[in-house]
Every structure is written in structure tokens, then in C-alpha cells.
């Protein structure tokens, strides 16, 4: 579904991504790990066509080259991005935030029905009770729920999740991850998640990558990381 070939990423004259190669198959759940500053968010920005950064190399989605396309064209092609800083509309109600995310459903392969407002409230029922509240009145966890469901309202084939549990209390973080897993199961959405190393999350992944200094230094099945604490310490500084 997504193929990244020899991708170099630049902010002005500073290179932050080096010869990145990744392959994400349709329906897969892929983890992207690495220390802060390793290039993970820059890679997501490059995939979405945001500037900065600028890129050299290739990014193909469903066999179509998307390198150089504007962000709206990439979003309309079926890629949804949940940014780390959430970017909700603080002066609009929760329901209006969700409605602004809606696109005409293209019924991605394997999906029986589009994701709609009822689904947003079904997966995150707390949002229903707050639907008339402004975005500025939400807690961090509620904002994250809103951002995920607003992105899903666009019915993406590929979902990019950038640090979805950043800054959340442990119980809220677990709830968010569990709901992401439920959404994936119900809507068959291919997902790449940037997250802190987590055994809870790792066991659900089909593949994982680790980045360091702008390059991919590890690519393998999650079980390899899960069973090897020495490797976890070497690659991620955990374990």
C-alpha cells in the first residue's frame, strides 16, 4: 500500500531523514519507534506532502507516486494523519469538529461501510456527552479522542498516528490505544503508529521500524524486539 524508497528529508540545509526505505502492506499495523529527534514526525510530514520539509526520493501510495503532491491531494487519495499536537478547532463544538473531517466515503477495500458520526460516538461515547462543548473546553485525552475520530470521518485507507498517547494519563493512554485497536478491527484501516516503546502495543503490531539520526536502523517482526531486552536498550534506551 505504501512504499518509501531512498527518501531524504531536509529542513533548509539540514538533513533530518537519510535513505529511508519502508514497505507497508494493506491491512498492516506498523509501529515506528525511536528517540525524540530521530525523524519520525518529519517522515509523517513528508508522506503528507507538508512543507517544510522538502524531500528527495520516492513515496508511492497504492502504486501511485505521491511525492510532490499537495497535502489536500494526498488526503483525498486516502491518507489520514493524526498529528501529535492534535490541531482541533478550539472555537467550534466537538460535533462540528467531527463534521468538518467528513469526506465522501470511497469504501476502501475490505471495508463494508464508511466511518460516520454514529461510529465516532460509539467508539468514544464520552464525546457524545460533550458534543455541544467547544474544543477549548476539552481535556488532553478528550482532544485526542476527537482528533482520531475526526480523521476517521474522512474514511482513510491509511491512518498515520503520531504519538497518540503523548501527555495522557496511563489509564487514558491505554483507553485510546484500545479504541484504536477496535477501530482497526471494525474498519480494516492500515495503520502506522509513532509511539513510545510499549509491550502492550507491540504485541498487536505486524511489523516495526526503529529510527535513529534520521535513518531506519531496525526493521523486523515485533516479536524480535519483544523478546530481547538487550536489543530494546540498544535501539531505544529502554528495557
> What does the pLDDT profile of the chain (239 residues) look like in tens digits?
999 999 999 999 999 999 999 999 999 999 999 998 999 999 999 999 999 999 999 999 999 999 999 999 999 999 999 998 889 999 999 999 999 999 755 545 555 578 999 999 999 999 999 999 999 999 999 999 999 999 999 999 999 999 999 889 989 988 999 999 999 999 989 999 998 777 778 889 999 999 999 999 999 999 999 888 898 888 888 75
Residue 163 lies in a domain: no
Verify that 174 and 210 share a domain, yes or no: no
What's the CA gap between 197 and 205, in Å, rounded? 12
Same domain for 89 and 141: yes
Cβ-based neighbour number of residue 101 at 10 Å: 19
**Prediction pTM value:** 0.93
Same domain, 106 and 132: yes
Is residue 236 included in any domain, yes or no? yes
Are both 141 and 179 inside the same structural domain?
Answer: yes
Same domain, 57 and 132: no
Asked if residue 147 belongs to a domain, the reply is yes
Which burial class, exposed, middle or buried, applies to 179 when counting CB atoms under 10 A from its CB (0-12, 13-18, 19+)? middle
Q: Tell whether 89 and 184 lie within a shared domain.
A: yes
Do 137 and 231 lie in a common domain? no
> Does 119 reside within a domain?
yes
Domain that holds residue 129: 85-157+168-188
141 in the same domain as 93: yes
3-class DSSP state of 86 = coil
- Does 162 reside within a domain? no
Based on the fold, state whether residues 69 and 12 are members of the same structural domain.
yes
What's the burial of 124, exposed, middle or buried (CB within 10 Å: 0-12/13-18/19+)? buried
Provide CB contacts within 8 A for 222, sequence distance 6+: 31, 202, 203, 205, 206, 207, 208
Question: What CATH number should be reported for the domain holding residue 176?
Answer: 3.40.50.300
Whether residues 66 and 140 fall in one domain: no
Q: Is residue 139 part of a domain?
A: yes
61 falls within a domain: yes
Number of domains in the chain: 2
The answer to whether residue 114 sits within a structural domain is yes
Q: Could you tell me if 178 and 238 lie in one domain?
A: no
Shared domain check, 114 and 177: yes
Amino acid at each position: 500500500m505504501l512504499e518509501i524508497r531512498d527518501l531524504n528529508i531536509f529542513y533548509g540545509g539540514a538533513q533530518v531523514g537519510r535513505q529511508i526505505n519502508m514497505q507497508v502492506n494493506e491491512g498492516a499495523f506498523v509501529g515506528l519507534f525511536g528517540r525524540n529527534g530521530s525523524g519520525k514526525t518529519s517522515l509523517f510530514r513528508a508522506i503528507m506532502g507538508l512543507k517544510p520539509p522538502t524531500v528527495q526520493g520516492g513515496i508511492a501510495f497504492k502504486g501511485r507516486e505521491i511525492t510532490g503532491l499537495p497535502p489536500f491531494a494526498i488526503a483525498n487519495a486516502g491518507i489520514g494523519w493524526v498529528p501529535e499536537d492534535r490541531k482541533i478547532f478550539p472555537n467550534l463544538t466537538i460535533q462540528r469538529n467531527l463534521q468538518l473531517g467528513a469526506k465522501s466515503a470511497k469504501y476502501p477495500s475490505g471495508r463494508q461501510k464508511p466511518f460516520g458520526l454514529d461510529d465516532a460516538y460509539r467508539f468514544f461515547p464520552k464525546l457524545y456527552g460533550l458534543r455541544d462543548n467547544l474544543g477549548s473546553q476539552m481535556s488532553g485525552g478528550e482532544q485526542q479522542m476527537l482528533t482520531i475520530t475526526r480523521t476517521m470521518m474522512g474514511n482513510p485507507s491509511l491512518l498515520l498516528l503520531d504519538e497518540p498517547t503523548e501527555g495522557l494519563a496511563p489509564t487514558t493512554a491505554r483507553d485510546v490505544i484500545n479504541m484504536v485497536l477496535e477501530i482497526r478491527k471494525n474498519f480494516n484501516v492500515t495503520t502506522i503508529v509513532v509511539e513510545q516503546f510499549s509491550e502492550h502495543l507491540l504485541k498487536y503490531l505486524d511489523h516495526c521500524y526503529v529510527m535513529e539520526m534520521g535513518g531506519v536502523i531496525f526493521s523486523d517482526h515485533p516479536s524480535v524486539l519483544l523478546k530481547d531486552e538487550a536489543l530494546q536498550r540498544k535501539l531505544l534506551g529502554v528495557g
